[in-house]
Structure 1
Amino acid sequence: MLAKENGRALLAMFLSTAFFMFNDATLKYTAQTMPLGQVIFLRGLVTTALMGMVCLYLGQFKIGWRLCHPVVLARALLEVIGSMMYLTALTKMPMANATAMLQAMPLMVTAGAAIVYGEIVGWRRWSAVASGFVGVMLIIQPGLDGFDAWALLALGAVFFMATRDLVTRRMPKGLPSFGVTFVVCVAVTFMGAGLGATEVWVPVDTWYLWPILGSSAFIIGAYYFAIVSNRLGELVAVAPMRYTGLLWATAIGVLVWGTFPDWITMTGMVIVVGSGLYTVHRERLRLRAEQAVEQAEVNKKAASRPSASQDPASTRAAATA
Structure 2
Amino acid sequence: MAALTPNLRGALLMMGSMTGFTLNDVCMKALSDELPLFQALFLRGLGTTLCLALLMRWQGRGLRLDLSPRDRGLIVLRSVAEVVAAFFFLTALFNMPIANATAILQAMPLSVTLAGALFLGEAFGWRRMAAILIGFCGVLLIVRPGAEGFNVYSLYALAAVAAVTVRDLAARRMSAHVPSLVVALAASALVTASFGIGSAFVEWGTLTAKNGAQLLGAMGFVFFGYIFSVAAMRSGEIGFVAPFRYTGLIVALVAGLAIFGEWPSTLTLLGSAIVVATGVFTLYRDRVARPPKPLGLRVR
Work out whether the TM-score is over 0.5. Answer: yes
Shift of 1:62: 5.5
**More moved, 178-187 vs 133-142:** 133-142
TM-score by length of 1: 0.70
Whole-angstrom distance in 2 between the partners of 1:238 and 1:214: 26
Alignment of 1:51 onto 2:52 = yes
Alignment of 1:117 onto 2:120 = yes
Choose between structure 1 and 2 for higher RCO, CA contacts under 8 A separated by at least 6 residues. 2
Partner of 1:39: 40
1:42-121 aligned at under 5 Å gives the runs 42-61=43-62, 63-64=64-65, 66=67, 69-121=72-124
Partner letter of residue 52 of structure 1? A
Whole-angstrom distance in 2 between the partners of 1:60 and 1:276: 35
Larger radius of gyration between Structure 1 and Structure 2 = 1
| Contact 2:74–2:171 under 8 Å retained in 1 | yes
Shift of 1:176: 1.4
Partner of 2:297: none
Change in 2 beyond 3 A, CA 1:226/1:133 = farther
Whole-angstrom distance in 1 between the partners of 2:104 and 2:141: 13
Alignment of 1:246 onto 2:252 = no
Change in 2 beyond 3 A, CA 1:70/1:14 = farther
Greater helix content: 1
Shift of 1:109: 0.9
1:1-321 aligned at under 5 Å gives the runs 16-61=17-62, 63-64=64-65, 66=67, 69-135=72-138, 143-148=147-152, 150-223=153-226, 243-257=246-260, 267=270, 270-279=273-282, 282=285
Q: How big is each residue's C-alpha offset from its partner over 1:256-304, in whole Å with a ceiling of 9 and x where there is no partner?
A: 34656676666556545543454466568769xxxxxxxxxxxxxxxxx
Q: How big is each residue's C-alpha offset from its partner over 1:37-61, in whole Å with a ceiling of 9 and x where there is no partner?
A: 1111110111111111100111221
Change in 2 beyond 3 A, CA 1:86/1:198 = same
Aligned length: 283
**More moved, 58-67 vs 31-40:** 58-67
5+ long unaligned stretches in structure 1: 288-321
| Contact 2:17–2:227 under 8 Å retained in 1 | yes
Partner of 2:294: none
Q: Percent identity?
A: 36
5+ long unaligned stretches in structure 2: 1-5, 291-300
TM-score by length of 2: 0.74
Whole-angstrom distance in 2 between the partners of 1:221 and 1:163: 24
Shift of 1:185: 1.2
| Contact 2:11–2:244 under 8 Å retained in 1 | yes
Partner letter of residue 52 of structure 2? M
Whole-angstrom distance in 1 between the partners of 2:143 and 2:164: 21
RMSD over aligned CA atoms reads: 4.1
Secondary structure at 2:64's aligned position in 1?
A: helix
